[in-house]
């Protein structure tokens, strides 16, 4: 008679398989942060998003004649939100239209673009940047409804998910000041600043 051993634990595949044999615990985040290719790829995505936010800020502020003509630049008395929000026609058109041109909304929008862009560029305050950036992107997605090319997904949703993911995997630690920032007493005391 032969004896067959049955394990109650399912067989592991991927990065966790080797860790189980050694008694250590490995998470998907550990696998990403240990891979240089993954770390630098996500740092690159973080920096590209930083350029996206900072470019939008600069264009609205100075009117670089791409999305914003110079005469509608914020420094020339234009409203960074009026053109976009006053043109919303979807189910939330009335709500967003009522916000168009408001000085408070202009300041919140511009400070948001600048703050999120700088946080992404420097790799600091990633959790706060992810939360505020995802909120901004979701609001812009709502303002875009109905979408032209896809009934549900556009770059606003993709950016929102990317922002949250980049903060979750500590993408600011690679090619950024995230590790240094995390060591500051204020950030250790208030982890949402990480």
Mean pLDDT value of segment 55-65: 97
pLDDT in tens, 23-39: 566 666 677 778 899 99
Mean pLDDT value of segment 138-143: 96
* Mean pLDDT, the chain, integer: 89
Cβ atoms within 10 A of the Cβ of 112, count? 19
Q: State the pTM of this model.
A: 0.84
pLDDT in tens, 114-125: 999 999 999 999
| Domain ranges (residues) in the chain | 35-60+103-193
pLDDT > 80? residue 159: yes
Query: Residue 34 has what pLDDT?
Result: 83
Q: How far is residue 77's CA from residue 84's CA, in Å, rounded to a whole number?
A: 16
Q: Above pLDDT 70, what percent of the chain?
A: 84
């Amino acid at each position: 008679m032969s004896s067959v051993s049955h394990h109650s634990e399912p067989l592991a595949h991927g990065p966790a398989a080797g860790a189980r044999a050694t008694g250590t615990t490995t998470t998907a985040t550990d696998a990403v942060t240990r891979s240089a290719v993954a770390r630098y790829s996500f740092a690159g995505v973080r920096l590209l998003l930083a350029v996206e936010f900072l470019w939008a800020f600069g264009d609205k502020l100075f009117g670089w004649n791409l999305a914003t003509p110079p005469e509608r630049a914020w420094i020339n008395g234009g409203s960074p939100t009026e053109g976009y929000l006053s043109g919303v026609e979807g189910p939330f058109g009335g709500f967003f239209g009522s916000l168009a041109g408001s000085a408070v909304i202009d300041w919140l929008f511009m400070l948001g673009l600048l703050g999120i862009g700088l946080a992404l560029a420097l790799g600091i305050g990633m959790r706060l940047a992810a939360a505020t950036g995802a909120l901004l992107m979701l609001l812009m997605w709502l303002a875009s409804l109905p979408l032209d090319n896809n009934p549900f997904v556009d770059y606003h949703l993709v950016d929102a998910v990317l922002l949250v993911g980049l903060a979750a995997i500590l993408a600011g630690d690679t090619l950024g000041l995230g590790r240094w920032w995390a060591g500051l007493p204020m950030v250790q005391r208030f982890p949402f600043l990480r």
